[in-house]
Amino acid sequence: MLREIADDPGHPDRSSVLPEPDELERKQTSGEQYAWKVHRDLLLKRFPVEDTTRRRRPGDSSKKGSRDEADVLRSQLQGKDQYVSFLEEQVRTKDGQLAEMNERLRESHVLIKDLQQKSAGALPSPSENNSRHKPFWRRPIRLFGRG
């Protein structure tokens, strides 16, 4: 449709298409880019709008259409409700797992504390420990195995 009108400068609808023939020729020879602009009236004349595509007003919807929409919305709502209950179950499961993990961690801490207390009793006293690490010239002299 556009080529038919644009290629014929004498076409009755040529005034509804831009750029004009002389401007089009100038842009084509210079290599300049251009865009076709078609008047709305020409488009409506060539491609008439059907009555079924008119916009509905809020009060004009048919009963069947509103029932269909309500059914679709109901089914979507049910699907979302099922998904929410699934997520709630997941959260309950995760909460239980976290509580069990915290209990195991507490038990581990108690066991480690007991182990530390038992191992602390097996260590030498701090006074003995210090004498071993003093330089030899500061250690007390033991004569004949007496100290």
Regarding whether 82 and 45 lie in a shared domain, the answer is: no
> Lowest-confidence range among 35-49, 59-73, 116-130?
116-130
User: Which position has the higher pLDDT, 59 or 84?
Assistant: 84
State the residue range of the domain holding 85. 75-120
pLDDT tens profile 78-124 = 999 999 999 999 999 999 999 999 999 999 999 999 999 888 877 66
* 100 assigned to some structural domain: yes
Give, for 38, the enclosing helix (H) or strand (E). strand 37-38
113 burial (CB, 10 Å; 0-12 / 13-18 / 19+) is: exposed
Place of tokens 């049910």: 78
User: Which position has the higher pLDDT, 47 or 124?
Assistant: 47
* 140 assigned to some structural domain: no
Query: Are residues 47 and 55 in contact, defined by beta-carbon separation less than 8 angstroms?
Result: no
Q: Closest by alpha carbon to 39, among 16, 5, 73, 69?
A: 16
